[in-house]
């Protein structure tokens, strides 16, 4: 604030979505462990193997195409749609079933860049939700200004993070370079910052 008094804090969108996904995944893992303790190992394994479907954007879930699923074998479940399979997964845990719509409403509000809806949903999360899940999501209220700015402004540091990842990968595999200067030149060449004569 002293150096850049008029700067606006913008939290990277990737980290906000990651935080929400992590909150839901931690709840799923807790519920899996409870199922294992209760002797429901097969249900816990189904939640473990199909975790991606629980995080999938609800708009992209298939409600019409029936197919077989490895986790839900015939003859009991010969054909299920993706939506039916997700319903079966949520049926294993009341906590997950209750948290699922709130999690997706938050993600959709964030995707639609609607800060008012996003923060009203966060503030009004019901007490009946799992405590760890609710508290982790409500931690986002602390960063209201930065998250609101992330929805308003188009800024992101994704490109810089991608460059850093490339440089770190190159550093890891470049132990054969005799000098730092050679490695530096290679980084510049790959990123087209210098041209070969």
List the structure tokens of 76.
């009991």
In angstroms, the Cα distances linking 121 to 14, 28, 112, 115 are 20, 21, 14, 10
Of 57, 48, 58, which Cα lies nearest the Cα of 25?
Answer: 48
What's residue 121's pLDDT?
A: 95
Of 153, 163, 159, which Cα lies nearest the Cα of 9?
Answer: 153
As a whole number of angstroms, the distance between CA 129 and CA 38 comes to 21
What's residue 136's pLDDT?
A: 95
Domain boundaries, the chain: 13-152, 158-190
The sign of the CA dihedral 116, 27, 9, 149 is negative
Asked if 21 and 29 count as a contact pair (C-beta separation under 8 A), the reply is no
Confidence of residue 196 (pLDDT cuts 50, 70, 90): confident
- Condensed to tens digits (0 to 9), the pLDDT of residues 142-163 reads 999 999 999 999 988 888 888 8
Of 125, 106, 133, which Cα lies nearest the Cα of 117?
Answer: 106
What's residue 51's pLDDT?
A: 95
What's residue 194's pLDDT?
A: 83
Torsion of the alpha carbons at 171, 172, 178 and 184, rounded to the nearest 10 = -10
Say whether pLDDT at 9 is over 90.
no
List the structure tokens of 1.
């604030």
- Condensed to tens digits (0 to 9), the pLDDT of residues 24-83 reads 999 999 999 999 999 999 999 999 999 999 999 999 999 999 998 888 887 777 889 999
What's residue 187's pLDDT?
A: 82
List the structure tokens of 84.
């039916």
Task: Give one DSSP letter per residue of 96-145, joined into a string.
Answer: HHHHHHHHHHHHHHHHTT-HHHHHHHHHT--TTS-HHHHHHHHGGGGGHH
As a whole number of angstroms, the distance between CA 194 and CA 104 comes to 45
Confidence of residue 1 (pLDDT cuts 50, 70, 90): confident
3-state helix, strand, coil in the chain (%, to 5): 65, 0, 35
- Condensed to tens digits (0 to 9), the pLDDT of residues 165-190 reads 888 888 777 777 778 888 888 888 88
What's residue 163's pLDDT?
A: 85
Average pLDDT over residues 117-129: 94
């Amino acid at each position: 604030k002293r150096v850049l008094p008029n700067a606006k804090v913008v939290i990277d969108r990737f980290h906000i979505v990651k935080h929400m996904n992590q909150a839901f995944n931690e709840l799923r893992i807790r519920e899996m462990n409870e199922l294992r303790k209760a002797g429901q190992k097969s249900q816990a394994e189904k939640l473990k193997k199909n975790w991606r479907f629980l995080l999938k954007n609800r708009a992209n879930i298939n409600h019409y195409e029936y197919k077989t699923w490895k986790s839900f074998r015939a003859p009991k479940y010969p054909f299920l749609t993706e939506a039916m399979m997700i319903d079966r997964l949520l049926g294993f845990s009341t906590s997950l079933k209750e948290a699922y719509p709130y999690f997706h409403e938050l993600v959709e509000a964030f995707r639609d860049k609607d800060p008012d809806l996003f923060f009203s949903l966060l503030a009004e999360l019901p007490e009946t939700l799992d405590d760890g899940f609710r508290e982790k999501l409500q931690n986002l209220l602390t960063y209201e200004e930065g998250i609101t700015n992330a929805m308003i402004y188009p800024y992101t540091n994704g490109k810089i993070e991608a460059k850093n990842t490339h440089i770190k990968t190159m550093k890891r595999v470049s132990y054969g370079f005799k000098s730092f200067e050679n490695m530096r030149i290679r980084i510049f060449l790959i990123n087209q910052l210098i041209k070969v004569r």
